[in-house]
Amino acid sequence: MKKLADSAVQQFVRVDVILNNAGLMPLSLIDRMNVEEWYTMIDVNIKGVLKGIAAVVPYIKEQKLGQIINTSSVAGHKIFNDSAVYSATKFAVRTLTEGLRMEVKPYNIRTTIICPGAVKTELLEHITEADIQ
């Protein structure tokens, strides 16, 4: 993400906006202990967004202008059966966006969160539990 931001600044002189849209959704019950899937969701859904934020904040803070848009999910507001870990990652994106908003407000930087409901994507293909898929 840093290379992408650096490249954008080299080519276009500035970064005005980033849309962080990172997400995997291998739903399962917690007692099935799919720990590696949890770690992968955390790496993509939370750390992926953090890496995008970290890549652009220095540039847009210096510019005193910019917007960071993060995609969360309605699952970050409402927990559905089998979605505790996924919902936790999407709630984390909500929290990160709100906390970041407070931190970057003095620099005229806006943060936006998008929380779509069910959308037909490849996310269901990541569910390894046949009875949940």
| Cα distance between residue 77 and residue 71, in whole Å | 13
pLDDT band per the 50, 70, 90 thresholds, residue 110: very high
Element (H, E) at 19: strand 17-20
The structural domains of the chain, ordered by start, are 2-125 (3.40.50.720)
pLDDT band per the 50, 70, 90 thresholds, residue 119: low
Q: Determine whether 86 is an active site residue.
A: yes
29 Cβ partners below 8 Å, 6+ apart? Answer: 82, 129, 132
Predicted confidence (pLDDT) per residue in 5-46, tens digit: 999 999 999 999 999 998 887 777 788 888 999 999 999 999
Question: Of 39, 59, 86, 107, which residue is the catalytic one?
Answer: 86
27 Cβ partners below 8 Å, 6+ apart? Answer: 82, 83, 86, 127, 129, 132, 133
Q: State the pLDDT at residue 92.
A: 97
